[in-house]
Structure formats: C-alpha cells, structure tokens
Amino acid sequence: DNYMRIKPILEACKSMKKTRTGALIVIVKFYEDQLFANSCEAMDAKISKRLLESIFQKNSPLHDGAVVIAENKIKSASCILPLTDNDKLPAQFGLRHRAGIGISETTDAVAIILSEETGEISYAKQGRVKSNLSLGELERALNKDF
C-alpha cells in the first residue's frame, strides 16, 4: 500500500513544517553508491517520522545536508548535493532549495524541501520546483512519484 510507504514522510513533514525545521529529503528510484558515497553518512534504516525528525533537529550532527531515500529505506543522511546553476530562482531560495533542485536536474530524484524561515514545503522534480505545497498536494505528488 503506497500510503503506508509515504505516511512517515508526510507525518515528519507535517511536524517539521509546524516547528519550522529545515529539511531536504531526496527520493531516488535507484540508489547509486558512487553518487552519494563520498559526501554522505551511510545508513540503511526503516523510514520513520521520529528518525527523520531526529536527523533534521538543529543539534543533530546529521542535520546539514540531505537525507536520501531509496528502496523504501533511508539510505544516507547529511549528504552534500550538487547545486543548481539556475539563476532565475526566487531570492528567498537558499542552499537547501538549490541542492534539492540540483539533484532533481541531474538524476531521477524528487526532492522535498522544508524552509526553516517560512515552514513552507517545496517539491522539486526534473529541475522544476513547486512552492508552498499543502500536505495534501505533497501526498498527491509522492503518490505519483514514489
């Protein structure tokens, strides 16, 4: 059931939106070790709301960078991703947004970006980004892509 797969991600996003916790969650169909190996903390963990929240807590040593999800597991955390070269993005988009858009330009990844400034949820796919998504819109996007 797809809802059970995306439920912990949605619940974590809902909670982090409320607390304005910045986050970057990248979902890939196929995890390529060489793409992430040098810039990530390797994991192989069940996806859970509490684990995602823990990773992105400001005091966590893993909170900077992205979490990468593949094969229904959290495969790595604290990933440094390539930034987009797109210079037409809104001024309020910082490194987190640029990294989420960048990885979606160069791979089959989709990226969920939570802004710590606004609590806004953005969604990047194929280099394009939708901003200020409701949780319902995020759920529909994940159902389609995950």
What is the span of the domain harbouring residue 112? 2-145
SS3 42: strand
Question: What pLDDT does 77 receive?
Answer: 95
Determine if residue 119 is left, alpha or beta; phi over 0 gives left, psi from -120 to 50 gives alpha, anything else beta.
left
Measured from the Cβ of residue 58, the count of other Cβ atoms closer than 10 Å reads 10
Measured from the Cβ of residue 67, the count of other Cβ atoms closer than 10 Å reads 29
7 phi, psi to nearest 5 deg? -55, -50
From the centroid of its chain, how far is CA 130?
Answer: 13
Point out which residues pair with 125 in neighbouring strands. Answer: 110, 128
pTM of the model: 0.94
What is the residue-level pLDDT of the chain in tens, covering all 146 positions? 688 889 999 999 999 999 999 999 999 988 887 677 678 999 999 999 999 999 999 999 899 899 999 999 999 999 999 899 999 998 889 999 999 999 999 999 999 999 999 999 999 999 999 999 999 999 999 999 98
Reference 47, options 90, 6, 94; nearest CA is 6
Q: How far apart are CA 93 and CA 115, in angstroms?
A: 9
Q: How many domains does the chain divide into?
A: 1
Question: What pLDDT does 1 receive?
Answer: 63
User: The domain spanning residue 50 has which CATH number?
Assistant: 3.40.1700.10
CB 24, CB 67: distance < 8 Å? yes
Question: What pLDDT does 119 receive?
Answer: 94
